[in-house]
Amino acid sequence: MDKMKGKWEKKFSVLMLVSMLVLALSAWTLAAAQPTFGGTLRVGTLSDPDTLNVLQSNSVSASWILNLMYPSLMVMNEAGDKVPYLAKEWGYSPDGLTAWFELRDDVKWEDGTPITSKDVKFTAEVTVNHKIGFNASLLADVKEIRTPSPTRVEFALSEPYGPFLASVGFWLRVVPEHIWKDVEDPKRFPNTNPVGAGPFKLVKYEIGQYYELEAVDSWFDAPAGRPYLDKVFFKVYPDINTMILALQRGDIDIVANPIPPAAAARLKATPGIKTAQTASLGYVYFTFNQHREQSKALQDVRVRKAIAHAVNEEMIRAMVLRGNAKDVAVAVSPVLGSWHNPNVKSYEYDPEKAKAILDEAGYKDTNGDGVRETPSGDKLSFELLYDGGNANIAKAMKMVADDLQKVGIGVTHVALERNGYLAQFRKLDYDIAAGGWGIMDEPADYLYLLYHSSTYGPDGINRSGINDPELDELIDEARRALDDKKAKEYVWKVQERLKELVPEVHLWVETYILAYRDNFAGYGVYPSDLRGMVDPQSLVRVYKVK
Amino acid sequence: MLVSVTLTFVILRLMPGDPAEVLVDPRMTAEVRAQLLADFGLDKPLWQQYFIYMANLLKGNLGISFKTLLPVMQIISTRIWWTILLMGVSFVVTLIVGIPLGVLAAVRRDSAVDRLITAVSIFGNAIFVPWLAISLLYLFGYLLPVFPIGGAVEIGAVGWERIKSIMYHLVLPVSSLLIINLARYVLFLRTSMVEVLQEDYVRTAQAKGVRGGVIVYKHALRNAFLPTLTMMGLQLGYLVGGAVLTETVYAYPGVGRLIYESVKQHDYPVLQGTFIVLALAVIVANILTDLFYSLLDPRVRFD
């Protein structure tokens, strides 16, 4: 009997021990997972902000710092959708002629003044009146701005324009009216002592060396009420190799710029360092000039289709970017989530098919020199214009040229240094030209600028000069649509039509590698190097772990 | 001076590419772009831009940076002191190391020592600057974490800590510059010394029984030094331009790096301003060299 009792006692004590261990373990894990306040995050950057004038600034590195200091109405989430930030809600009037934002009422500037619709109206008006930057173009068609309440801003438009709210919401950073109204020339204002509103505020900086930002006491987007971090430092290292060494040594905790693929492999193997990936909101492509006598053959869609089949995109992505790229069929990046039509795929690499198409269309090599002739006897040969200084594009275009030559299309390289290339590109002086876009965030808006027949010309960005009534109609509908769902339907149809028309061949969407140390956690990874891991939404959640 | 300024102005303006390119986002409308050009006076005819610039220059106004919107004079004056510090220290160190080495090589001509010194100097001269800089950073900043990786000073250091920090941050960049510039002084001096040591007056001194060291340093060096001095003087002016590559790799906030960044960003006013300051520095350096020359060589006097 005693022996049995002993056995049960033993089992019982073992059970007790185990449960205590489990409890202790869960308590410990929970405690460890609970972010604590404190810590200074040191971010490495290749360059200083171009300027602290948030209205005039036009550089990616400046944005990393300025986005922490000045709020926009919307931000982009990790899935590529635009979501509320300073603005809680937005919409159009039924006739589409008024676009409105409803702002949060609980956000204040650094000096305690509440942010109101007055600030938004002021920022928009200053931008338009002084024609400051890209935003001035976005706001050009606004007839009037009204502020019926401290939290409501209304823009009176001259005609309904679907992408208006999302474009302005994403790009316009709001400045305090009570400070900037006394600035004589907002365009020349260096803004050396900024007063902003954000999860962090700039307290000290020395140009060329560092920018010191301190957490504010309360910020609406911080899950704990205020950022976990006490401070964020941006340190400037003009040389990427030096910056990588600094990360390895622990002088900085994260590098804001994308890491070159060659260095990334080395970093991944370093203990204490992790990497993450984000994709660009832009893409690289080459376009066909369909308005030139000497390249008349490009007006034949079969020639363009054949070229699309002839190019081995996957190989190019593997060789040039070491695979750090995504396929992109037409001008809507897969990064843009629900805007991207997954049913529209790139033309498969099929050189035999390319040859067959050209044969059937009457482009044959009649004199056996390896280059086909058009039915009218001209050589099927094109000039390839590109930026010779851009290593990736130059490499890619050489591979494209090889692919084209393999199917009997002749190629002449016109590789110029950047400024020369840009000059010719703008003047539409090319047969085929390679190019790249950095950030294309609003398809209903930019598809118009790129492919509508009315936007062709040296002033705009329409490089292909395609003139297709059906495409025009679809693009117009997408722009007129006042709700996202409808706009997306049309944007999907635009993508289908673009595949049929082949105005351009899209080579890749670049993916960026971001490197950071494991002493901080909680990062979010946002699309494009413009946002990346130092987006304000990410930094409010980052906390120190060791 | 006038010629330098004019040349700088014209060359920068003639560079291919529209300066507005960098300022302008391709999605801007035509009017916004036109406004931008007008703001920076880039829409006026070239000769008008020139005269406006010269007028400002005489007032000491070097214009406003395209990018930072700060006065160019302010930008340069904050950064120039770092370059002067870096270059000044490196100049002195190179002399302290270079002169004895050059003399040694000359005196022990064709010996193993001479060959070693000459080889190291040529190596330093030929080496690719950024590679050397990164290698030093890797060896002494990472593998053996003795020295800081980049920067001029620890953020927030004050007083004595600040001075110590500045010195620490100088070691690697100065070492880079030393290795690179050594060749110039060592080889130059060695050649002059070798020539001078063969002169009659040296042999006379030897015959008189003057001690070797005295011959070398008091008599020979003083004369051999003259061509080296000329070269140093020419170098002095370029000091201000800074070692562009060195400053960039070491993240040193000087004028050299400013040039690199401004070229990348097509910030013409800053570039112009820096070139003007450079031209001025070269002129001042030349004047100083001439004065120094007269001190060393009693045969040269100003009328």
CB of B142 within 8 Å of a chain A CB? The answer is yes
In tens, the pLDDT along A278-321 reads 999 999 999 999 888 888 999 999 999 999 999 999 999 999 98
The answer to whether A371 and A365 have CB atoms below 8 angstroms apart is yes
CA distance A519 to chain B (A): 18
Would you state the pLDDT for residue B180?
81
pLDDT tops 80 at residue A465: yes
How does strand A87-92 pair with strand A82-84?
unpaired
Report B:76-115 residues touching A (Cβ under 8 A).
Answer: 78-79
Q: Where are the alpha helices (DSSP H) in A380-519?
A: 391-406, 418-426, 443-451, 469-480, 484-501
| B107 vs B89: CA distance, rounded Å | 27
Mean pLDDT of chain A: 91
pLDDT bucket at A487, cuts 50 / 70 / 90: very high
In tens, the pLDDT along A219-254 reads 999 999 999 999 999 999 999 999 999 999 999 999
Angle value at C-alpha B34, between A73 and A155, nearest 5 degrees: 30
The reply to whether residue A459 touches residue B70, judged by beta carbons under 8 angstroms, is: no
Distances in Å between the Cα of A457 and the Cα atoms of A425, A426, A446, A461 are: 11, 9, 15, 8
User: In percent, how much of chain A has pLDDT > 90?
Assistant: 73
Query: Which member of B27, B30, B137 has the closest CB to residue A134?
Result: B27
| A86 vs A72: CA distance, rounded Å | 6
3-class SS of residue B27 = coil
pLDDT tops 90 at residue A327: yes
A chain contacts of residue B61, beta-carbon cutoff 8 Å? none
Query: Which member of A246, A422, A449 has the closest CB to residue B150?
Result: A246
Would you state the pLDDT for residue B41?
62
pLDDT tops 90 at residue B211: no
In tens, the pLDDT along B115-144 reads 888 888 888 878 888 888 999 999 999 888
B59-64 mean pLDDT: 74
Would you state the pLDDT for residue A26?
63
Would you state the pLDDT for residue B229?
72
Would you state the pLDDT for residue B236?
64
Choice among A433-447, B42-56, B95-109, B168-182 with the minimum mean pLDDT: B42-56
The reply to whether residue A248 touches residue B257, judged by beta carbons under 8 angstroms, is: no
User: In percent, how much of chain A has pLDDT > 70?
Assistant: 97
Would you state the pLDDT for residue B117?
84
The answer to whether A47 and B261 have CB atoms below 8 angstroms apart is yes
Would you state the pLDDT for residue B283?
75
The reply to whether residue A246 touches residue B130, judged by beta carbons under 8 angstroms, is: no
| A392 vs A258: CA distance, rounded Å | 15
pLDDT tops 80 at residue B26: no
Tokens coding A245: 């060494």
Assembly ipTM? 0.79
Residue B27 or A249, more confident: A249
Would you state the pLDDT for residue A228?
96
The reply to whether residue B141 touches residue A245, judged by beta carbons under 8 angstroms, is: yes
Distances in Å between the Cα of A399 and the Cα atoms of A316, A403, A434 are: 7, 6, 13
pLDDT tops 70 at residue B16: no
Buried/exposed code over B111-131 (b: 16+ C-beta within 10 A; e: otherwise)? eeebeebbeebeebeebebbe
Strand partners, A387: A416
User: In percent, how much of chain B has pLDDT > 70?
Assistant: 75
pLDDT bucket at B98, cuts 50 / 70 / 90: confident
A23 burial via Cβ count (<10 Å: 0-12, 13-18, 19+)? exposed
Would you state the pLDDT for residue B166?
93
A360-388 mean pLDDT: 91
In tens, the pLDDT along A127-147 reads 999 988 788 888 988 999 999
| B168 vs A383: CA distance, rounded Å | 55
pLDDT tops 80 at residue A328: yes
Would you state the pLDDT for residue A120?
96
pLDDT bucket at B54, cuts 50 / 70 / 90: confident
| A78 vs A76: CA distance, rounded Å | 7
pLDDT bucket at B295, cuts 50 / 70 / 90: confident
Residue B107 or A346, more confident: A346
In tens, the pLDDT along A12-45 reads 777 777 777 766 666 665 555 578 999 999 999 9
| A503 vs A493: CA distance, rounded Å | 15
Report A:453-472 residues touching B (Cβ under 8 A).
Answer: 459, 461
Nearest CA to B272 out of B17, B43, B19 is that of B19
CB of A423 within 8 Å of a chain B CB? The answer is yes
Task: Report residue B2 CA to chain centroid gap.
Answer: 22
The answer to whether A125 and A145 have CB atoms below 8 angstroms apart is yes
The answer to whether A526 and A276 have CB atoms below 8 angstroms apart is no
Interface-testing mutation among B155, B266, B268, with chain A (most A C-beta atoms within 10 A): B155
pLDDT tops 80 at residue A182: yes
Would you state the pLDDT for residue B208?
78
